[in-house]
């Protein structure tokens, strides 16, 4: 019998050999493909690990844009800084007497010590010192040789510690709006934190008040960031901050010399309800809801109502001064990455103190 010759195989045998060869080639291809897939998965996992932070940030930016928040410019810088910030100190529950940062007696020494320290803390987790300097580079006495930076960020932070609820209630969006609203009013009142006292004074702002009587020879003109005025306001704040109403009734000028107390007067006014007016704070963080009389007067929660509380004479009409505040509020909302919310103007609101339109 002659040796096996492939050429002598019948057609069926040839088909079997060909099929076996094809199966071997397919097995080799599958092995190679599996190796390539495993290599690709390893590269993908490595890439995701390296760029997961960027990817998540991109999703967050898109969500912020859907909410109408500004995530460009200063707002992006704000978000970046917040990743490096520590949480602001938790204050004790506010009640009763509020002590001064130094003592219960009027003194400017506390302000001097505050100016010398670097403010490393944030304000409500929203703003830091760099942002403060960016917003108000030309504030009073900043960078002047031999003069203290009266409206310093350190002084503001020190004053805020006396009011634990300030910028610590509501959602993050509400806190951003509250800070934008607060600074919009202060900036307008002080010309961008360049003035300490009311420029034009034609009266003493003294009125009869049994609980907080004015002192002869003293005037209670607008002073400080909120331009606190009238003896009854000086007396109420003095009682809350110093524990003695007579401190500021006898020395109203202190609000132009003690920067911490000066900022404190602005925050106190912002946080304090004076019936029938709610506090600006409660309006901005959603703690206050309008009653039937407020609804009839179109006084609804929003920035516009805070102007009605602070200066009702600018409401119920078109006002150039009011428009400036609206514009500043809009600008600061964008800076802090917040939408403005509803009822941002008081043009159609019944001013407090009036009974009808």
**Sequence-separated contacts (24+) of 24-33 with Cβ below 8 Å:** none
Is 130 among the catalytic positions?
no
In terms of C-beta density within 10 A (0-12 exposed, 13-18 middle, 19 or more buried), how is residue 188 classed?
buried
Please state, in angstroms and rounded to a whole number, the distance separating the CA atoms of residues 220 and 235.
Answer: 10
User: Does the bond joining 306 to the residue before it have cis omega, within 30 degrees of 0?
Assistant: no
CB contact burial 163-183 (16+ within 10 A = b; e otherwise): bbbbbbbbeeebbbbbbbbbb
Find the helix packing angle between 320-335 and 74-82, rounded to 10°: 50
Per the DSSP assignment, residues forming a β-bridge with 56 are none
Scored b (16 or more CB within 10 A) or e, 111-150 reads beebbeeebebbbbbbbbbebbeebbeebbbbeeeeebbb
CB atoms within 10 A of CB 55: 10
Beta strands in 160-310 (DSSP E): none
- Number of CB atoms found within 10 A of residue 3's CB: 5
Catalytic residue among 67, 189, 211, 253: 189
> What span, in angstroms and rounded, lies between the C-alpha atoms of 235 and 248?
6
The backbone torsions φ and ψ at residue 123, rounded to the nearest 5 degrees and listed phi first, read: -105, 105
**Three-class secondary structure of residue 277 per DSSP:** strand
Active site residues: 189
């Amino acid at each position: 019998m002659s040796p096996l010759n492939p050429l002598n195989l019948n057609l069926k045998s040839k088909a079997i050999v060909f099929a076996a060869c094809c199966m071997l080639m397919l097995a080799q291809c599958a092995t190679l493909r599996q190796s390539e897939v495993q290599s690709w998965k390893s590269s993908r996992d490595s890439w995701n690990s390296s760029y997961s932070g960027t990817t998540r940030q991109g999703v967050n930016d898109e969500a912020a844009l859907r909410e109408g928040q500004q995530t460009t410019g200063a707002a992006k810088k704000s978000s970046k800084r917040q990743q490096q910030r520590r949480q602001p100190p938790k204050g004790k529950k506010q009640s009763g007497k509020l002590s001064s940062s130094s003592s219960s007696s009027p003194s400017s020494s506390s302000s001097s010590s505050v100016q010398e320290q670097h403010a490393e803390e944030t304000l409500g987790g929203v703003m830091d010192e760099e942002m403060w300097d960016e917003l108000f580079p030309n504030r009073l006495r900043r960078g002047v040789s031999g003069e203290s930076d009266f409206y310093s960020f350190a002084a503001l932070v020190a004053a805020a510690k006396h009011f634990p609820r300030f910028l610590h209630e509501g959602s993050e969006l509400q806190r951003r709006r509250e800070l934008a609203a607060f600074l919009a009013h202060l900036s307008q009142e002080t010309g961008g934190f360049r003035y300490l006292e009311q420029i034009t004074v034609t009266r003493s702002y003294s009125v009869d008040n049994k609980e907080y009587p004015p002192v002869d020879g003293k005037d209670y003109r607008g002073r400080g960031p909120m331009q606190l005025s009238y003896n009854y306001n000086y007396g109420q704040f003095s009682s809350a901050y110093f524990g003695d109403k007579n401190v500021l009734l006898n020395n109203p000028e202190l609000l132009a010399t003690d920067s911490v107390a000066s900022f404190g007067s602005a925050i106190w006014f912002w946080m304090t309800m004076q019936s029938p007016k709610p506090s600006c704070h409660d309006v901005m963080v959603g703690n206050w809801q309008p009653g039937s009389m407020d609804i009839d007067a179109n006084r609804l929660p929003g920035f516009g109502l805070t102007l009605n509380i602070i200066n009702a004479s600018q409401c119920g009409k078109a006002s150039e001064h009011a428009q400036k505040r609206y514009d500043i509020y809009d600008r600061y909302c964008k800076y802090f990455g917040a939408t403005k919310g509803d009822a941002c103007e008081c043009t159609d609101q019944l001013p407090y103190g009036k009974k009808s339109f």
